[in-house]
Amino acid sequence: MWVYIWIAGLLSAGYVFIIYNYIKNWNLLPEWKTPIDFSPQTKITVLVPARNEAQNIAACLESILQQNYPENLYEIIVMDDHSEDQTAEIVHQYLKKNVRLLSLEKILQSKKITAHKKIAIETGIQQATGNLIVTTDADCIVPENWLRNIAAFHEIQGKEFIAAPVNFHKEKSLFEKFQSLDFLGMMAVTGGGIHSGWMRMCNGANLAYTKRIFEKVNGFEGIDSLASGDDMLLMQKVAAHAPETTGFIKNTETLVLTEAMPTLSSFYQQRLRWATKSSAYPERQVTFILAWVFFFCCSIPLSFLLFFFGGWNFLWLGFVQIVVKAITDFIFLKQMSRFFNRLFLMNAFIPSFFMHILYIVIIGICSNLSQSYTWKGRSTK
The reply to whether 312 and 347 lie within a common domain is yes
Helix (H) / strand (E) element for 201: namely none
Residue 272 resides in a domain: no
Report the pLDDT value the prediction gives residue 11, as an integer from 0 to 100: 97
The reply to whether 10 and 55 lie within a common domain is no
The reply to whether 102 and 51 lie within a common domain is yes
The reply to whether 64 and 110 lie within a common domain is yes
Residue 319 resides in a domain: yes
Q: Chain centroid to CA 95: how far?
A: 29
Q: Residue 301 contacts by C-beta under 8 Å, 6 or more apart in sequence?
A: 318, 357, 361
Domain of residue 9: give its range. Answer: 2-25+284-373
Residue 313 resides in a domain: yes
Report the pLDDT value the prediction gives residue 367, as an integer from 0 to 100: 85
| pLDDT 10s digits, 53-84 | 999 999 999 999 999 999 999 999 999 998 99
Find out whether 215 and 47 touch, Cβ atoms under 8 Å.
Answer: no
Residue 18 resides in a domain: yes
Say yes or no to pLDDT of 381 above 70: no
Contacts 24+ apart (CB under 8 A), 239-242: 239/161, 239/200, 239/283, 240/282, 240/283, 241/213, 241/216, 241/217, 242/160, 242/213, 242/216
Closest by Cα among 276, 247, 258 to 48: 258
The reply to whether 188 and 70 lie within a common domain is yes
- Checking DSSP bridges between strand 99-103 and strand 74-80, what pairing results, if any? parallel
Report the pLDDT value the prediction gives residue 273, as an integer from 0 to 100: 84
The reply to whether 307 and 239 lie within a common domain is no
In this structure, of 202-211, 249-258, 303-312, 338-347, the range with the lowest mean pLDDT score is 303-312
Chosen domain end from 212, 232, 266:
266
- What's the pTM value of the predicted model, to 2 decimals? 0.93
- Total count of domains within the chain: 2
The reply to whether 201 and 328 lie within a common domain is no
The reply to whether 231 and 104 lie within a common domain is yes
pLDDT bin (cut points 50, 70, 90) of residue 110 is low
The reply to whether 50 and 18 lie within a common domain is no
| pLDDT 10s digits, 140-192 | 999 999 999 999 999 999 999 999 999 999 999 999 999 999 999 999 999 99
- Residue predicted with more confidence, 275 or 90: 90
CATH number at residue 69: 3.90.550.10
Find out whether 257 and 303 touch, Cβ atoms under 8 Å.
Answer: no
The reply to whether 157 and 17 lie within a common domain is no
Report the pLDDT value the prediction gives residue 307, as an integer from 0 to 100: 82
Closest by Cα among 126, 117, 140, 97 to 51: 117
Chosen domain end from 201, 234, 266:
266
Calpha distance 122→88 (Å, rounded): 19
DSSP 141: B
Calpha distance 334→329 (Å, rounded): 8
The reply to whether 235 and 335 lie within a common domain is no
Closest by Cα among 137, 257, 261, 259 to 187: 257
The reply to whether 188 and 320 lie within a common domain is no
In angstroms, the Cα distances linking 77 to 44, 123, 236, 238, 242 are: 11, 10, 25, 23, 28
Report the pLDDT value the prediction gives residue 234, as an integer from 0 to 100: 95
Find out whether 263 and 352 touch, Cβ atoms under 8 Å.
Answer: no
Calpha distance 103→272 (Å, rounded): 28
Chosen domain end from 266, 298, 327:
266
Residue 290 resides in a domain: yes
Calpha distance 297→71 (Å, rounded): 49
Residue 278 resides in a domain: no
Residue 48 resides in a domain: yes
Mean pLDDT of 23-46: 97
